[in-house]
Amino acid sequence: MQPSVKVVSLVSVGRHPQSGRSRRAEQDGRAVELGLKLASAELTVVHAGNAQEQVLRQYAGMGLLSLTVLEQESDCDAVPVLVSFLQDKRIDVVLTGVRAESGESSGMLPYLLAEKLGWPLVPRVADIISIQGGAAEVLLALPRGQRRAVTVKLPFIASVDNAAQEARQTAFGPGLRADVKVLNVDSVVDEAASQWQISAAKPRPKRIKVVKAKTAADRMKAATAKPMGSGGKVMKDETAAEKAQAIFDLLLEEKVVR
């Protein structure tokens, strides 16, 4: 492990799925946990938003000495200010959650940052095993508990999956004593998002495959078993238009778009 590795964990304000109360976001907490493993006290934790948000103290209570806030209003776009902040520093690894628990919650932030910075993006990371020689060995989280090891050159952006190490408990006292560094930035109002109507996401009903079974145990097993992906299609040599059409046809079939 390189002692000089510079890691930034981006955090947001989470929302409890039942009560709707503000909380430390689950995946962002795991991103901070992974960042502490890689950089220890040298970890930089950044939030773009309201510096008075009390939830930020929950992240600081994980053992942080300080936390940086790029202060801006809730209707501003976080991407430009984060890009400007990261470009001004020599960062090796940027950790985020897969998606936020409030707001747009689209999961596009790490992709947009990677595009603007020209860095590779590693999605759904379960762990970063080592960083040496200007490259990192990363463990990806695959469906059904599977893992895949890949090597990526620095710098890069990684979105941390729920399969990563669970975030440690937060301590109220250390979180209250941590230094919150507020930076004034030139914010950009997201005019498109200001016209959207945001509603809470609802889980789609699970498909139940009707199976003729002789016993109640067999019927229960068929109803609760995870569906096996047998209808997939791997497209490598097709053109971009053909790949896009295949994705669009699948979305129509699944009734995601109408």
Residues 3-22: tens digit of each pLDDT: 579 999 999 999 998 888 99
Do 48 and 113 meet the contact criterion of CB atoms below 8 Å apart? no
Can you give the pLDDT at residue 235? 86
Q: Cα separations (Å) of 221 from 143, 170, 213?
A: 20, 40, 10
Top pLDDT among 216 and 8 is at 8
Torsion of CA 67, 72, 76, 80, to 10 degrees: -60
User: pLDDT by residue (tens digit) across 97-152?
Assistant: 999 998 888 899 999 999 999 999 999 999 999 999 999 999 999 988 899 999 99
CATH of range 7-195; options 3.55.40.20, 3.40.1410.10, 3.40.50.300, 3.40.50.620: 3.40.50.620
Reduce the DSSP state of residue 40 to 3 states and report it.
helix
With cut-offs at 50, 70 and 90, classify the pLDDT of residue 226. Answer: low
Domain extents for the chain? 7-195
Type and span of the H or E element at 84? helix 78-87
Is pTM beyond 0.85 here? no
Can you give the pLDDT at residue 250? 87
- Mean pLDDT over 40-66 rounds to 94
Closest by CA to 28, choosing from 173, 161, 176, is 161
